[in-house]
Amino acid sequence: MQNPQLMSDRDLVRLYQKGEQQAIAELIHRYKQKIYSSIFFLVRKPELAEDLYQETFIKIIVSLREKRYNEEGKFLPWAVRIAHNLVIDHFRKERHMPMQRDTDEYSVFDFMPQRSRNAVEEIIHDEKINKVRQLIDRLPFEQREVVVMRHYAELSFKEISQILNININTALGRMHYAILKMREMIKEEKISLRE
């Protein structure tokens, strides 16, 4: 097998369907933050996000194995759609939408990829993460899901409109209002992420 890091998503999917384990490992690694973020910023609970992330990949693996994946070359939008459906299913099961703000009982930082930092760097980094979370957490759910899909999962507005089954202008409008709101938050609360 050639270097998986240099291979396209489509080739990795094909290889995995032929039984090459390294191919799925590369796909997991390639999109770990995008897919996880698309879950985490909606559910806002790290343990739940971890569970839904694992469930997302179990569904992906099963679908690939059973050759039910037919969106060649569009792995990420497909994966994010699966993740998003699981998030929505979760809220339906819980019979509540995430309207309440959460507390500081957990930190996104706990689930950041491991990197080597000294103690001071850790603190600065932790503060930055919490500030980003402050921005996103205060958005209404519908705006938050568009921000997460566009900014973190890097889906186009067209792809987002297809996943959410909304008009592209609606998706763009939600992003528009989210940006206005985040801009105000940055101004009013002087949220500065610069060191």
Partner 1 sequence: MIKTTTLKDLVLYAYNETNLSDSDRIQRNIDGDPLVQQEYKEITEVFKALNEQMPGPSEKSMEKILAFSKESLA
List of residues contacting partner 1 (CB under 8 A): 19, 21, 24-25, 28-29, 32-34, 36-37, 40, 49-50, 53-54, 57-58, 61-62, 65, 108-109, 111-114, 125, 128-129, 131-132, 135-136, 147, 150-152, 156-157, 172-173, 175-176, 179-180, 182-183, 186, 191, 193
**Shortest spacing between CB 4 and partner 1, in angstroms:** 13
Token readout for 95 is: 């019979």
Neighbours of 14 (CB within 10 A): 15
Say which residue the tokens 């291979």 belong to.
7
CA 15 to CA 24: how far, in whole Å?
A: 9
**Shortest spacing between CB 72 and partner 1, in angstroms:** 20
Nearer to partner 1, 57 or 75 (CB): 57
* Length of the chain counted residue by residue: 195
**Shortest spacing between CB 28 and partner 1, in angstroms:** 6
Nearer to partner 1, 114 or 116 (CB): 114
Nearer to partner 1, 95 or 190 (CB): 190
Task: Please name which of 86, 92, 17, 93 lies closest in space to residue 53, comparing C-alpha atoms.
Answer: 86
**Shortest spacing between CB 36 and partner 1, in angstroms:** 4
Nearer to partner 1, 74 or 131 (CB): 131
Nearer to partner 1, 32 or 92 (CB): 32
Burial class (CB in 10 A: 0-12, 13-18, 19+), 121: exposed
Nearer to partner 1, 92 or 191 (CB): 191
Token readout for 97 is: 């939408």
Dmax over CA atoms of the chain, in Å, equals 55
CA 110 to CA 119: how far, in whole Å?
A: 14
What single DSSP character describes residue 149? Answer: I
Say which residue the tokens 């987002």 belong to.
160
**Shortest spacing between CB 50 and partner 1, in angstroms:** 5
